[in-house]
Structure 1
Amino acid sequence: MPPQRATLMQVAQRAGVSRSTASFVLAGRHVDMRISEDARQRVLRAAQELDYRPNLMARSLRTKVTRTIALVSDTLASDPYAGRAIQGSLAAAVARGHLLFIGETDGDPVVEEKLISDFLDRQVDAFIYASMFTRYVRVPKLLKDRPVVLLNCLTRGARPVQHQIIPDELTAGADAAKVLLRAGHRQRVHLVGTPATKVFAGRERLAGIRAALADEGVKLAGVVECDWWPDSAYEAVSRALDDGFSPSGLICLNDRIALGAYQALRDAGRSVPQDVSVVSFDDSELAAWLRPQLTSIALPHYQLGWEAVQTLLGPVRDPAVTRLPMPVRVRASVGRPPVE
């Protein structure tokens, strides 16, 4: 049988203090309760010698606080790349002395309702409601009046009801354009990828690109429309090159598109960055695998998860949308424009 865990009374007896004094010391309340430093040290030493651990179940029944958080996501947990948000959330929860439960719904509202109900039955203190892709959501009714932070998603309305932590896609788009502008690209800069208005990231990135170019008196030369996957990008860029397409710089809406564009350029005898410079978004593992390595604007997954937990457990303040910076990872895919 496992050894019996030490009790608070045993700690108090070894330290030669009352049970309430030992409780106050271990709860960090020795100052406001005016407990002497000698008594505090005796309690801490006794707790260490006895390997005392507080009974969290008993504490939660007494205080109605379980020091637990539930993260409910669509497909965030099972995605190896976006899973960095889980790591950030876990790290922040541990730093705050909380446990983090994780539930994935695969976008099924029935599964979502069951998961949230189960978490509520376990008296979870607070929730993070997360999305794989930045999008607008409706917060489930079961979470109404509960402490909730939205991770990588938003609600519609003039004023947010919950805190919402998202990547700053608008500034990221501007930064991608500035990378090419600083390298001297002022003509024949094209976007690759269909910036559908319903896709939040694409819409924000395009707006940022256009704004940064406009600030320098430059216009986007055109858009090579394709799905956000390598094969679609390869086919679209290949067709354009066959029709006389001659870009100086390409801004790809994600790294998968950039992979397809790389292959199309190579097959057409164009070199990166000697003939065409390429900038992308996401900074997935593809960016470092490509040759030359791809300049990409990183999605701050880890920081999103960390900030969501810190906001959830931090001081109470009015709900707001927090946009986290997307770092620019400059690599070898950008050079000076080719000499005409």
Structure 2
Amino acid sequence: MQDVADQARTSKTTAHYVLTGQDQKLRIAEETRRRVLRAATELRYRPNLMAKGLRTQVTRSIAFISDTVATEAYAGNLVYGAIAAAAEHGYLLFVCETGGDPELEASLIGDLASRHVDAYVYASLFTREVQIPAELHFERTVLLNCLAADNSSPAVIPDERQAGRDAACALLDRGHRRAIWLVGEPGEQVLAGAQRTEGIRQALSDAGTELAGTVDCKWWPEPAYEQFGAFLDDGGDPSAVICLNDRVALGVYQALKARGRSIPTDVSVVSFDDSDLAAWLQPPLSSIALPHRQMAAEAIRLLMTDGALAEHPVHVAMPVRLRESIGPPRS
């Protein structure tokens, strides 16, 4: 600031008022204002935001803390959406990844607090219940893609139940009513699986039908290939399959192909997540998309809202991506 004042041949106070947009308070002459601005440009002057933050307690920065989101391409849109939304509001985003290490997490939060960040986004790669770090209990925080075990914090999550209904309806709309099988792990320990399955069962029940059964397997291609292949070898004859994510669908595709069954002529397939796999598979896979970018933008929007944060989770709609993997039931 002093360098700018010296080059503009004015006082430091005058330079301060010009560079902070308060020149009208001192009725600074236009010629002087221009000299100050020209000197600031020539010297590449930038205000000390850290010092300003110490004075005002507002740093226009947000911390994004995650388990493994930042290095996981699958969830990259969570980070991208948060960065873009923060920038739209004139905020800088600090992205920190803990790897699930509670000691590292506490250390990172302490470092961020010392930098006087204004708010926190606490994110998870998979939708699940989390224990919020004690250090965040008194900070302005929104959970992203996760829920507090005690419902103590506002959260933004995908609308998994409606996604389940939409997946079932995609099959019902093409005429499927029988031999619809679910493949994946629908237990309560996987929040998305439980909610998706609940939505599927509701939609089928409303249509007067139900799932024929479940092929239980982990959410990866290898176990899906093995378990679904064994199901087919034991006489399983599905008309349609609902996979609980795209990786499961890859295993189902391979198992069907290995046994000479065609998609969608013999078996229709629909899935969830709409990862890159969905478009790469042949035929392209119908999938219900995870709206990661929209969820992150909503989390930032909530933080920007004046006053108290919402107590109930915000559910973001999951878009339906229909492709060539669904056809009518075979005659």
Give secondary structure in 1 for the equivalent of 2:74.
coil
Partner residue, 1:153? 146
Q: What is the distance in 2 between the residues matched to 1:335 and 1:5?
A: 73
Pairwise mapping of residues 2-81 of structure 1 onto structure 2 (< 5 A)?
7=4, 22=18, 25=21, 47=37, 50-51=40-41, 53-81=46-74
Deviations along 1:144-201, one digit per CA (max 9) or x if unpaired, are 21111101110134xx432201111111000000100001101111101121211100
> So what's the TM-score if we normalise by structure 1?
0.87
Q: Which amino acid aligns with 2:325?
A: S
Pairwise mapping of residues 58-207 of structure 1 onto structure 2 (< 5 A)?
58-157=51-150, 160-207=151-198
Q: What is the distance in 2 between the residues matched to 1:9 and 1:317?
A: 46
Q: Relative to 1, partners in 2 of residues 1:48 and 1:192: Cα closer, same or farther, differing over 3 Å? A: farther
Partner residue, 1:332? 324
Is the CA contact (8 Å cut-off) linking 1:8 and 1:22 kept in structure 2?
no
Unaligned segments of structure 2, at least 5 residues: none
Pairwise mapping of residues 308-319 of structure 1 onto structure 2 (< 5 A)?
308-319=299-310
Is the CA contact (8 Å cut-off) linking 1:283 and 1:298 kept in structure 2?
yes
For residue 230 of structure 1, the aligned residue among 207, 221, 224 is 221
Q: What is the distance in 2 between the residues matched to 1:314 and 1:144?
A: 19
Please state how far the C-alpha of 1:53 moved relative to its aligned partner: 3.8
Partner residue, 1:246? 237
Please state how far the C-alpha of 1:128 moved relative to its aligned partner: 0.9
Partner residue, 1:208? 199
Q: Which amino acid aligns with 1:122?
A: R
Q: Relative to 1, partners in 2 of residues 1:246 and 1:297: Cα closer, same or farther, differing over 3 Å? A: same
Give secondary structure in 2 for the equivalent of 1:133.
strand
Give secondary structure in 2 for the equivalent of 1:142.
helix
Is the CA contact (8 Å cut-off) linking 1:8 and 1:23 kept in structure 2?
no
Give secondary structure in 2 for the equivalent of 1:247.
coil
Is the CA contact (8 Å cut-off) linking 1:273 and 1:333 kept in structure 2?
yes
Please state how far the C-alpha of 1:241 moved relative to its aligned partner: 1.1
Q: Which amino acid aligns with 1:73?
A: S
Please state how far the C-alpha of 1:248 moved relative to its aligned partner: 0.8
Give secondary structure in 1 for the equivalent of 2:208.
coil
Please state how far the C-alpha of 1:81 moved relative to its aligned partner: 1.5
Pairwise CA RMSD of aligned residues? Answer: 2.8
Which sits farther off after the overlay, 292-301 or 65-74?
Answer: 65-74
% identical equivalent positions:
49
Give secondary structure in 2 for the equivalent of 1:336.
coil
Please state how far the C-alpha of 1:19 moved relative to its aligned partner: 5.5
Task: Tell me, yes or no, if structure 1 residue 273 matches structure 2 residue 272.
Answer: no
Is the CA contact (8 Å cut-off) linking 1:25 and 1:43 kept in structure 2?
no
Please state how far the C-alpha of 1:47 moved relative to its aligned partner: 3.6
Give secondary structure in 2 for the equivalent of 1:97.
coil
Is the CA contact (8 Å cut-off) linking 1:11 and 1:22 kept in structure 2?
no
Is the CA contact (8 Å cut-off) linking 1:12 and 1:19 kept in structure 2?
no
Give secondary structure in 1 for the equivalent of 2:75.
coil
Task: Tell me, yes or no, if structure 1 residue 258 matches structure 2 residue 254.
Answer: no
Q: What is the distance in 1 between the residues matched to 2:106 and 2:326?
A: 47
Q: Relative to 1, partners in 2 of residues 1:6 and 1:151: Cα closer, same or farther, differing over 3 Å? A: farther
Q: What is the distance in 2 between the residues matched to 1:89 and 1:314?
A: 15
Q: Which amino acid aligns with 1:110?
A: E
Q: What is the distance in 1 between the residues matched to 2:2 and 2:205?
A: 68
Give secondary structure in 1 for the equivalent of 2:178.
coil
Which sits farther off after the overlay, 227-236 or 317-326?
Answer: 317-326
Deviations along 1:278-301, one digit per CA (max 9) or x if unpaired, are 000011111011000000011111
Please state how far the C-alpha of 1:50 moved relative to its aligned partner: 4.0
Question: What number of residue pairs does the alignment pair up?
Answer: 326
Task: Tell me, yes or no, if structure 1 residue 283 matches structure 2 residue 279.
Answer: no
Which sits farther off after the overlay, 316-325 or 106-115?
Answer: 316-325
Q: What is the distance in 1 between the residues matched to 2:34 and 2:116?
A: 30
Q: What is the distance in 2 between the residues matched to 1:43 and 1:139?
A: 49
Is the CA contact (8 Å cut-off) linking 1:12 and 1:18 kept in structure 2?
no
Q: What is the distance in 2 between the residues matched to 1:277 and 1:12?
A: 77
